[in-house]
Structures are given as structure tokens and as C-alpha cells.
Amino acid sequence: MNTFTKCLSLSAIFACIAQPTLADGAHHGGIQAQTSADKTLTSFDIVHAKVTTQNNIATFHMAVAAQAGNIKPVPTGKLAGSQVFSYVWPTSLNSAVVGFEDNAGILALAVTAHPDFDDTPLYDENADNNPNNDGNVWHSHWVVLTPNEACGPGALGVVDIPAGTTPKLPKTWPGLPILLDSPGWNPTFNGETVEVKVAFDNATDITNANYDGVTAGLRVNQSVHAPLLCVVDVMDVASGDLSLPGKVNQ
């Protein structure tokens, strides 16, 4: 089983450890990931993941085998069943740190692209004076993930907001009925790397955190809610087992 085997459950994710060679050591600290013998999806083959801080600013870094951000989903022309490609840093942070309810699930920073919908209504990423058509431009989110059997046996999904409820949400929540934030932290792609700089109110929140690195495909449910967004294809996991071994600034 190679890194890019589709992993539809948590147990499969934990077993989805790449077999071939280790990264070449060009990246220092963080998680040195294994590389895959499969060269068809090098844009999602993680070789390094790292989180560092300077004062209250954290830099989330990920390096892949080649051309980070080079591949995006094919447009379908509709929201239901559409795809999302993502570079993700799952963390041990309490979801309350960024404005969600306390301990609502796994808080992850994600850099995503999805041509069939826009979920950053406050920002005009493609600078065309229309903030509602930018989904295909790589952008960042905080998401809260939990196992959701409706996404598949043991699979993860973005936490849904049940109809009629009013949970605590970040100020930049985009209005979708899921625990998703659109904070506007712009990702930077440079060759094989992607980085996002994130400001925290309290620097100790992030400096005490653990993290991992994941590349994944998500899909909008055909019912467009309950669940709305499921993880359907884990392409690579930096640690190999989602154990969050990364320690900030190490």
C-alpha cells in the first residue's frame, strides 16, 4: 500500500504509511516524512511539515515532492458532490482558541481549493471586484473535524451545525452550516512548499501545540448538509499515523 492509497476510515488512515524512501534531509526540524515510489501525485506527497513561531505569529510549513499547489479539482458546475483539495495541519489546539466552542473536535488549519463554490465571502482572492467567485484560488481555513459515520465507516468530516442551533463561532465564519472559519490568512506557494502565517491572540496557545501534516481530498455531500463536507481521500500523512508528533519550534 503506497502513500496515495485512498483511506476512507480512521483505521485505514493509520495503516496508510508509505513504504519507500525517507526525505533527503534538506528540510530541518519538524516532521521528516517518507516519500512515495508513486510519482503520479507528487504535488501531494509530503516530505516535510513544520510549525514555527516568532512572537505571536506562527508559520505553518509543508513541503511536497514537487510543485505544491499545481493540481486543483476539476469543476463539476454544481455544489453537490464537488471536490476540495487540501493541505492540512491537524493540531492539538483547543477549538476555542480560534473562536469555536470548547473542545469541539480536531482543530486543523487547511489550505484549500475548490472551483465549484466560494466560502470566503469577506475576501476577493482573485482581485476581480467580486468576492464570491474565488473558490479555485488557494486560501486558508480553520476547520473542526470529527469521525462521522455518515461520511463512511470511521471517516472524518467537518463538524455540522444542526439546524436551529447557535454554537459559538469565529467572527469570520463564512455562514456555512459547518465548523469552518475563513480568517483570510493568505497561503504562499514557492516551488515544492506551501506556508501560511497565522496570528494568535495568545502566543502560548500555539507554542504548546502538537501538529501533523496531511494532504487530502474532501467532497461536498450530495444532500449538501448532514454531513456537508467529508474527508474522502487521504493522499498522505506526514507522520504516517496521524499521531501529531510535531512539536512547535522543534
CA–CA separation, 201 and 232 (whole Å): 33
CA–CA separation, 21 and 9 (whole Å): 25
The separation between the first and the last C-alpha atoms of the chain, rounded to the nearest angstrom, is 30
- Beta-carbon contacts of 42 under 8 Å, excluding residues fewer than 6 positions away, are 64, 65, 66, 67
Q: How far is CA 7 from the centre of its chain?
A: 15
Q: What is the pTM of this model?
A: 0.89
Domain ranges in the chain are 10-243
| Helix ranges (DSSP H) in 125-233 | 203-207
Q: Poorest-confidence range of 20-34, 75-89, 182-196, 203-217?
A: 20-34
* pLDDT value of position 26: 59
pLDDT tens track for 90-139: 999 999 999 999 999 999 999 999 999 999 999 999 999 999 989 999 99
